[in-house]
Structure 1
Amino acid sequence: MAPLSLRTICIYGAGALGGTIAAKLALGLRERATVSVVARGEHLGGIRAGGLQVWEAQADSPLVAQVTATDNAAELPPQDLIITGLKGHQLDAAAPGIAKLLHDRTRVVMVLNGIPWWYFHRDEQSGHAERQMEELDPNGNLWRLIGPERVIGCVAYQGAEVINPGEIRLSNNGHFVLGEPSGEVTGDIETIAALLKQASINVSISPRIRDEIWSKLMGNAAFNPISALTRALMSDIMNNPALSAMVGQVMNEVRVVAEALGARLAISVDERLERSRRIGPVRTSMLQDLLAGKPLEITPLVGMVVSLGKLTGVPTPTSATILTLVTQLDRENLRAAG
């Protein structure tokens, strides 16, 4: 098979993470590739008016990148590479738009927190290969229109927040982990990783991307919903003995479910808790969405811990309680937002 061509690249969902990737690709690749973004609302207007502005950690001035920006994927030609910056609960509605951008060789890098819809595709660890999860892909649109065979998984360790329309602030230097669902180190993934590195994006390849997914979920399944329920920063949560104990309980439930599905986590709960104490006064993405009146990313981060616990026979009582509470919080918050 011929090497993957990467002349056209679309970032579908150019929020905090997607916008950061788009800006770095546009500035780093310049004439070597055409970079476009799909965004919406005031953020789209800001990108069109002043470009994507990205404040890196401790920077005195922002990176500024001009990109083609639209809220209608049909306005763009088929793309060689699509990188999604959408959250898991936003993907179903976006599937038809993403599908419009596909050609025969298009690869789709999905930057997602939590359990992704393609999780069991070519999974040799769990005993559930090719299982589809209705909670994550309720109409089967993602599996049918995009196809798990196109997907490259991506776990992002990048603190980022949209602070004004078109303007993004990063809290750290960031690191992205890529992995094929099959675990293979293919020519495609090597080509994509090399391209990202050319744009000064810190990236590595994992042959066990599910391990990376669960390792990050240990933190997200705990801190995101607890921060939304309490409106507390991560540092405040860790300084509260009762809340930090609850964080540890959720992390342990995540670890046991992950291991029941064949994942191997490189870090213990105690080590993860100790690292969390050093993160500082960070506002989680779920808390950001709550305060903005947006729908919360509940199912990939919390709901799937409970669902996959049931699938594997692992009790998840703390996660189940938090799921009930944060689901009601989401309903009330959206009602108040109008």
Structure 2
Amino acid sequence: MTPGLKNICIYGAGALGGTLAARLAEGLGEQVCVSVIARGAHLEKIRENGLQLHVAGEDKPSVVAVTATDNPADLPKQDLIITGMKGHQLPAAAEGIATLLSTHSRVVMVLNGIPWWYFHGDEKSERADHRLPELDPGNRLWDAVGPERVIGCVAYQGAEVVEPSVIRLPVRGRFILGEPSGDISADLTAISDLLTRAGVNIIQTADIRGEIWSKLMGNASFNPISALTRALSDRIVAEPALLGLMSRVMTEVHGIATALGHPPAQTVAERLKEAMTIGPHPTSMLQDLLARKPLEYVPLVDTVVRLAHMTGTPVPALETILALIGELDRQNRADAG
């Protein structure tokens, strides 16, 4: 067992967070103490039945018991916290996360889009420690959690909570971990090893920002287009007009990343080719729309447009999508009451 990584809390045990909690609890057993922060019916069913993880192609689901609560104060200080919340949910959780921190705690943040800590220690952009108030209003995360504790995570893992406490994965995906500093640190290596032993497919990177932008080429196109059209991924890539729009968005995202000094390793053509293989998958934004939940468009589109303006990068396709998805989110919130 890796020293110093005994108490592990998954803060936000939805689709991805719940997946990691189940893998850790099943794969490492009594070597670790896994707890989850959840709420509502999901919390109650986790307490009653445990977390159930169904993976396509596997004979039977994993069913694991974990400590579950909606109050971080119920738990001891944690060695490792993994957040499974979306970007717009995180600021409200800042104080709760801080409750769990000890002097040595690290926080792995599984996020789509631009993270609140993006510019921490970023010398390539010449904007080191520039803050993003649209992602961290009032510096709640910056001050309570601290960007120096963060290990960035880019997840390529489709997952869906099909009913409270029950998570379904279409495939086994991968998680890319990296320090904002670019170092392959002892903490990064220890956490990567821990998750690997739990059966999670982990890749370490010295350029987590480049990986963020690489995934964002898909997220900034697939997610809002799917929400605006209600089309699944396979339909979007099969329709020439939508595929052309995806290509324009990806090209704009690639241009912003390059202007900020972290161009994705993939070209637009390579990213589009990869997108063609995804299959009939509902994006997370489409799932949220259908569930009448707030849409995660700020880190995926709004902040991207802001960074484009910061760097003087033209983004007409993204600006159009932002206008449309912003209005769709407002209507969705109003309909949800």
TM range (shorter): over 0.9
2:181 match:
182
Alignment of 1:239-250 (within 5 A): 239-250=238-249
Comparing 324-333 with 80-89, which one deviates more in the overlay? 324-333
Are 2:285 and 1:286 aligned? yes
Distance 2:125 2:330 in 1: 34
2:65 match:
66
Residue deviations 1:47-81, cap 9 Å, x none?
11110000112223210110000111111111000
Residue deviations 1:223-243, cap 9 Å, x none?
000000000001111111111
SS of the residue corresponding to residue 220 of structure 1 reads helix
Distance 1:213 1:57 in 2: 26
Residue deviations 1:88-134, cap 9 Å, x none?
00000010100100010000000000000001111121110010111
Alignment of 1:211-222 (within 5 A): 211-222=210-221
Comparing 224-233 with 262-271, which one deviates more in the overlay? 262-271
Residue type at the aligned position of 1:254: V
Distance 1:307 1:152 in 2: 24
Indicate if the aligned counterparts of 1:250 and 1:318 stay in contact, CA closer than 8 A: yes
SS of the residue corresponding to residue 176 of structure 2 reads strand
Alignment of 1:95-106 (within 5 A): 95-106=94-105
Alignment of 1:83-102 (within 5 A): 83-102=82-101
1:332 Cα offset (Å): 0.8
Alignment of 1:276-315 (within 5 A): 276-315=275-314
Distance 1:57 1:177 in 2: 22
Distance 2:202 2:276 in 1: 25
5+ residue gaps, structure 1:
none
1:335 Cα offset (Å): 1.2
SS of the residue corresponding to residue 81 of structure 1 reads strand
Residue type at the aligned position of 1:219: G
Residue type at the aligned position of 2:292: G
Distance 2:42 2:249 in 1: 34
1:26 match:
25
1:170 Cα offset (Å): 0.3
2:253 match:
254
Q: How much identity, in percent, do the aligned residues show?
A: 60
Distance 1:77 1:50 in 2: 23
SS of the residue corresponding to residue 288 of structure 2 reads helix
1:205 match:
204
Distance 1:143 1:182 in 2: 16
Indicate if the aligned counterparts of 1:233 and 1:283 stay in contact, CA closer than 8 A: yes
Q: Given the superposition, is the C-alpha separation of residues 159 and 61 from structure 1 closer, same or farther in structure 2, using an over 3 Å criterion?
A: same
Q: Given the superposition, is the C-alpha separation of residues 65 and 77 from structure 1 closer, same or farther in structure 2, using an over 3 Å criterion?
A: same
Residue type at the aligned position of 1:108: V
1:82 match:
81
5+ residue gaps, structure 2:
none
**TM-score, structure 1 normalization:** 0.98
1:39 match:
38
1:120 match:
119
Indicate if the aligned counterparts of 1:4 and 1:188 stay in contact, CA closer than 8 A: no
Distance 2:60 2:323 in 1: 43
2:155 match:
156
1:107 match:
106
Indicate if the aligned counterparts of 1:4 and 1:105 stay in contact, CA closer than 8 A: no
Distance 1:264 1:332 in 2: 35
SS of the residue corresponding to residue 211 of structure 1 reads helix
Cα root mean square deviation, aligned = 0.9
2:7 match:
8
Residue deviations 1:186-235, cap 9 Å, x none?
11111101100110111011001101000000000000000000000011
**TM-score, structure 2 normalization:** 0.98
SS of the residue corresponding to residue 279 of structure 2 reads coil
1:331 match:
330
Residue deviations 1:271-329, cap 9 Å, x none?
21121111110100000000001000011000111000011000111111111111111
Are 2:60 and 1:57 aligned? no
Distance 2:38 2:4 in 1: 24
Aligned structure 1 segments of 4 or more residues deviating by more than 6 angstroms: none
1:4 Cα offset (Å): 5.5
Are 2:193 and 1:223 aligned? no
SS of the residue corresponding to residue 277 of structure 2 reads coil
2:317 match:
318
1:144 match:
143
| Aligned positions, number | 336
Residue type at the aligned position of 1:225: P
1:33 Cα offset (Å): 1.0
Q: Given the superposition, is the C-alpha separation of residues 4 and 221 from structure 1 closer, same or farther in structure 2, using an over 3 Å criterion?
A: farther
Residue type at the aligned position of 2:133: E
